[in-house]
Amino acid sequence: MKPSLPANTPSIDQIFTLNAQRPDQWRALITLTRKWIAGETDKQPLEQAFTALSASESFHAYPGTLLLHAMEKALIAGRSDEFLTLAGRISFSILAKYYKNDPSEWMITPGESPVNEILNNDAERPGRPYFELLIVAPQTPHTQRNVTLLHSQRRKEDAFIYEPVLVSSYQDAFCAIATNTNICAVAIFEGFGFKSRFPTPQIDNMMAALNISVDEDNLALQLTEQLALHRPELDIYLLTDQHPQDIASDPRASHIRRILYAVEEPTELHLSILEGINQKYDTPFFNNLKKYAYRPISTFHALPIARGKSIFKSDWIRDMGEFYGRNLFLAESSATTGGLDSLLEPTGNIKIAQQKAARAFGADHCFFVTNGTSTSNKMVLMAVAQPGDIIIVDRNCHKSHHYGAVLGGLKPYYVEAYPLKAYSMYGAVPLKTIKQALLNLKAENKLDRVRVIDLTNCTFDGHIYNTRRVMEECLAIKPDLVFLWDEAWFGFAHWSPFLRPRTAMGAAAELEKWLKDPQSAQRYAEQQQALGEHPTDEQLLATRLIPDPSQVRLRIYQTNSTHKSMSAIRQGSMVLVKDVDFYLIEPQLHEAVFAHSTTSPNQQLIASMDVARRQMELEGYGLVSNAIQTALDIRHQINTHPLISRYFHVLGADEMIPAEFRESGFRDFLTPDTHWSDTLPALRDDEFFLDPTRITLLCGQAGFDGTQFKNILANQYDIQLNKTSRNSVLLQTNINNTRSDVAQLIHVLLEISRDIDDKLGHAGPAGQQQFQQRVQSLMQDVPDLPNFSYFDQQFRDDTDGKIAVEGDIRTAFFRSWDPRSYEYIPLHSEECDRRLKEGPLMVSAKMVIPYPPGFPILVPGQVINQDVITFMRKLDVKEVHGYEARLGLQILKTTD
Ligand SMILES: *Cc1c(COP(=O)(O)O)cnc(C)c1O
């Protein structure tokens, strides 16, 4: 059968969705087969579907040519029952992943003992982790021989088992690593061509959009570069007939794990492949903790539950032991010896585990933190800045940054995110606002005191910065700025080729490359010339500024709550560092770690970060692709369902991000005819991009406020979520979601929608009007979001009569420790109104944070204005940190 695809089949390069569509494609094939057997259709559509399926299956080891040929033969011969049986068995094996553990799944007849020499070493397969090796090689008998030889190297003793996937072009190789999430290693034999046997419109678009051109002469190294860009975690091996040392000196060869002379023993390749996987699999701290747990140890240190004796021998608390199991207590220890290491002063396996995590996340250094990103943020701020330094910080950031400023005596210069008033939430801080802040500080001669730009990427609601552009333009104004990117929610993004360039470390890698490029200095010089000697602020704000590569110090810190997006136990957090001046910061960071860490870090937490790293390196790409795909599925199903969409709506990128920040013209993932290749220019250029996995679901049109709807989902349907706004809730998908979760959510929303529909049908005009009023109140009568006003004069340091934005939050914070320093003014009092009108100014003693929305509407030392009071009076939430309704607003008494 010729591999020509019928016009309406998905092309093989729908790489973003192809893997998710795989089960559907098989199911459709089975349905067609049944119809054919029942005489409801002739054979041709089935043949076409099978051809299309065979094309995309060529990127997977299973079912492989043996089974696909058997299916093809059955189809041609009209043995329909045999065809159906095979299709059913294979599709189930794919879904249930049986093929990974059971060698008989690869046989034409189940239970048949492997006759093929290639398969007969597999008796030991059960239990061993399985992966696939992509082999890119010209289609020649020689290649077949190489594959057979490589396969015959497998031994019972191997720690892992793999099956090869063979492709013979650059394009096919790219499709294979993009769609086949089992691939963990690639062996490239020189001599293959560029074009796929199949049409690849998406890849062509992508290459055109990103200006990638390929030179047919030197495909192996170019392919290496593209593969490493898309999936940096893959081990790449190059087999060449040239002198390996000639290739090794090419800078592109840095992505290659090992270069082998093609005629060398295949044993070398086989062992290298297993060794490469083992390096990722290896979790030094976790391994040692397991070893430690099984050693007979008498403890005389202070931790009674260690070894579990205080629990298992107890009459009263044995159930705790039964619940958690023995291993937890065997692995509990306060020791830093005996194979364990010290988190505060790591020299052994924790140090190695951190180095492995740094490499995996694309950083130079990584530090595990066992007290959450709340602590990571405070540590970084303390390490990089000192009292009196100015930090430019998103006012709407997590409270750990505000408290970090209090603790470190830093002066926050608050910058505002753009508001999304209709949904009672904030977006992210426009770059213009940040540049303006820097230019203002420059005009006030304070630029030398600005130490850090501190931003949240992505925000709770999914706004992703153009991290590279923000850093480039800020560095053009002050070349030694430190960046702290709070990526609490975004750690997983490193494993998406689409999102990675927008992570702090992804952008850092690109900036490093840019700094080394000799053309960069020229681009900078040209821009300087165009700007002239004394560019105005307007000019600087309107220009996409290029920094001076000879001046730039790249100093980037990222914090992530590993527990929020990966398989770490709650509170597991990482600090990732790429800082050319880290040698200056390291001793300071050390002090900051001492200042903020517990001296009793939890062993299980450290182990879980070690393991989370292993998981992401070996299967993160597939897990994250699945999370994104699941999110797109949810978005699509809610917004297109005829009944659900009457009451619920997922906000698209165009509703979350104003058009001015979507320069590429990208609208939303659901916009008709939008393909993944269209999102690439948006991802590269737009000021903001929406993380598809963070799904803002409007529930106001269903007559629910966010908190109410959250409670309904939790109490009646066991669906948990954490963030709400006045008229929305935030759903998020992560690496643990499955198709069943999507089905369950849609099922529940449908039930709720039906219920509303029924009730409205019986409510009569008065009831319907009441419902409309409720919707109107939730959707239209939304309060203005208050901006930061300003710090009171006693906490400011004005220059030339110009009100300073930054303030001494630390002094303000501790002022209220003196009981004579404050008073309470009830929010709903005449006194409050009088003070607003006539003064004296009301200055907040506290950080006041309502949940939702969860950002501080007041910080210590801030002057309270009408906007804040209006907002607080309209606020209908119960949980407001820093405010006791019984007492009123805590106000600092003014000194005059
Ligand atoms: C959750 C969160 C934090 C704090 O992280 P923990 O691990 O909970 O301490 C910091 N910043 C942002 C943006 C967060 O969402």
CA of 364 to the centre of ligand 1 (A): 22
Q: How much helix, strand and coil, in percent to the nearest 5, is found in the chain?
A: 50, 15, 35
Q: How far apart are CA 290 and CA 272, in angstroms?
A: 27
Give, using CA atoms, the residue closest to atom 5 of ligand 1: 373
pLDDT in tens, 263-278: 667 899 999 999 999 9
Overall average pLDDT of the 121-137 stretch: 80
Nearest to 483 by CA among 374, 385, 405, 587: 385
Q: What is the pLDDT of residues 735-767, one digit of tens each?
A: 999 888 999 999 999 999 999 999 999 989 999
Q: Is the pLDDT of residue 56 over 90?
A: no
Q: Where are the beta strands (DSSP E) in 722-781?
A: 723-724, 728-732
Percent of the chain whose predicted confidence (pLDDT) is above 90: 74
pLDDT of residue 800: 84
CA distances to 62, 134, 170, 236, 625 from 180, in Å:
11, 9, 15, 16, 11
From 741, 661, 664, select the one nearest 695 (Cα to Cα).
741
pLDDT value of residue 125: 55
Nearest to 615 by CA among 487, 494, 500, 741: 494
d(CA 221, CA 225): 6
Sequence-distant contacts of 750-759: CB under 8 A, at least 24 apart: 750/641, 750/643, 750/644, 752/647, 752/702, 752/712, 753/643, 753/644, 753/646, 753/647, 753/648, 753/702, 754/643, 756/647, 756/702, 756/703, 757/643, 757/646
Percent of the chain at pLDDT exceeding 70: 95
CA of 570 relative to ligand 1 center, distance in Å: 11
- Return the sign of the alpha-carbon dihedral for residues 511, 515, 519, 521: positive
Q: What is the pLDDT of residue 7?
A: 42
Q: Is residue 604 a contact partner of residue 648, using CB atoms and an 8 Å limit?
A: no
Confidence of residue 854 (pLDDT cuts 50, 70, 90): confident
Summarize pLDDT for 382-422 with one digit per residue, the tens.
Answer: 999 999 999 999 999 999 999 999 999 999 999 999 999 99
> 787 - beta bridge partners?
none
The whole-number average pLDDT for the span 207-219 is 78
Encoded tokens for 844: 């907040």
Arithmetic mean of pLDDT, 66-73 = 95
Nearest to 776 by CA among 457, 422, 509: 422
Segment 613-623, tens digit of pLDDT: 999 999 999 99
pLDDT the model gives residue 6: 42
Ligand 1 contacts (CB < 6 A) are 372-374, 398, 400, 456, 460, 486, 488-489, 561, 573
**Taking Cα atoms as reference points, which of 57, 20, 72, 70 lies closest to residue 198?**
57
Give the ligand 1 atom nearest the CA of 489: 15
Q: Look at residue 523 and tell me whether its pLDDT is greater than 50.
A: yes
The mean of the pLDDT values for the chain is: 91
Distance CA 269, CA 277 (A): 12
Residues 420-479: tens digit of each pLDDT: 999 989 999 999 999 999 999 999 999 999 999 999 999 999 999 999 999 999 999 999
**Could you give the strand order of the β-sheet that contains 728-732, starting from the edge strand earlier in sequence?**
649-650, 694-698, 728-732, 723-724
Please tell me the distance from the alpha carbon of residue 592 to that of residue 398, in angstroms, as a whole number. Answer: 19
Separation between Cα atoms, residue 161 and residue 616, nearest integer Å? 19
With a CB cutoff of 8 Å and minimum separation 6, the contacts of 214 are 170, 194, 207, 222
Q: Which atom of ligand 1 is nearest to the CA of 460?
A: 15
Q: Which atom of ligand 1 is nearest to the CA of 564?
A: 7
Q: Which two tokens stand for residue 643?
A: 């009944």
The Å distance, Cα 493 to ligand 1 centre, comes to 16
pLDDT, greater one: 724 or 585: 585
In contact, 70 and 176? CB cutoff 8 Å = no
CA–centroid distance, 561 to ligand 1, in Å, is 6
Residue 694 host element (H or E) = strand 694-698
777-786 pLDDT, tens per residue? 999 988 888 9
Q: How far is the CA of 488 from the centre of ligand 1 (A)?
A: 5
Look at residue 3 in the predicted model and tell me its pLDDT.
35
Residue 135 Cα to ligand 1 middle (Å): 42
Can you give the pLDDT at residue 212? 76
Ligand 1 atom index nearest CA of 570: 7
pLDDT for 299 equals 67
Q: Judging by DSSP bridges, how do beta strands 849-851 and 879-881 pair with one another?
A: antiparallel
Which two tokens mark 616?
Answer: 């992401």
Model confidence at 18, pLDDT cuts 50, 70, 90, reads low
d(CA 782, CA 787): 15
Determine the distance separating the centroid of ligand 1 and the alpha carbon of 290, expressed in angstroms: 30
Is the Cβ–Cβ distance between 697 and 731 less than 8 Å? yes
Q: Does residue 2 have a pLDDT over 70?
A: no
Ligand 1 pocket: which of 368, 370, 373 to mutate (most atoms <8 Å of CB)?
A: 373
End-to-end CA distance of the chain: 92
Locus of tokens 């951190």: 354
Asked if residue 338 has pLDDT above 90, the reply is no
Residue 172: pLDDT over 70: yes
For residue 373, the CA-to-ligand 1 centroid distance in Å is 5
Report the C-alpha gap between 562 and 278 in whole angstroms.
Answer: 22
Q: What's phi and psi for 312, nearest 5 deg? A: -70, -20
Using the mean position of ligand 1's atoms as its centre, give its distance from the Cα of residue 121 in Å.
49
Residue 46 burial (C-beta neighbours within 10 Å; 0-12, 13-18, 19+) = buried
Rounded CA gap, 483 and 558, in Å? 8
Q: Which of 133, 139, 227, 172 is nearest to 55 (CA)?
A: 172
pLDDT tens string 678-713: 788 899 999 999 999 999 999 999 999 999 999 999
pLDDT at position 16: 60
Return the minimum-mean-pLDDT range out of 105-119, 235-249, 496-510.
Answer: 105-119
Mutation probe of ligand 1 site: the residue of 368, 371, 374, 851 with most atoms within 8 A of C-beta:
374
pLDDT category at 8 given cuts 50, 70, 90 is very low
Instruction: Please compute the mean of the pLDDT values over residues 160-189 and round it to a whole number.
Output: 94
Rg (the chain; Cα; Å): 30
pTM for the full model?
A: 0.94
Please determine, for residue 664, whether its predicted confidence score (pLDDT) is greater than 90. yes
Q: What is the pLDDT of residue 117?
A: 44
- At 218, the pLDDT band (50, 70, 90 cuts) reads confident
The pLDDT of residue 563 is 96
The answer on pLDDT for 309 being more than 90 is: no
Q: Which residue has the higher pLDDT, 11 or 811?
A: 811
Among 224-228, 233-237, 480-484, name the one with the lowest average pLDDT.
Answer: 224-228
Whether 15 shows a pLDDT value over 70: the answer reads: no
Tell me what pLDDT residue 10 has: 45
Q: State how far the Cα of 534 lies from the Cα of 24, in Å rounded to an integer.
A: 62
For the CA of 572, the closest atom of ligand 1 is: 7
* Alpha-carbon span 278 to 273, nearest angstrom: 9
395 token code pair: 């006012």
pLDDT class for 301, splitting at 50, 70, 90?
low
Give the residue whose CA is nearest to atom 8 of ligand 1.
372
Give the pLDDT of residue 5.
Answer: 39
Which ligand 1 atom sits closest to the C-alpha of 456?
13
Side-chain half-sphere of 511: how many Cα atoms within 13 Å? Answer: 33
Average pLDDT over residues 148-163: 91
* Nearest CA residue ID for atom 7, ligand 1: 372
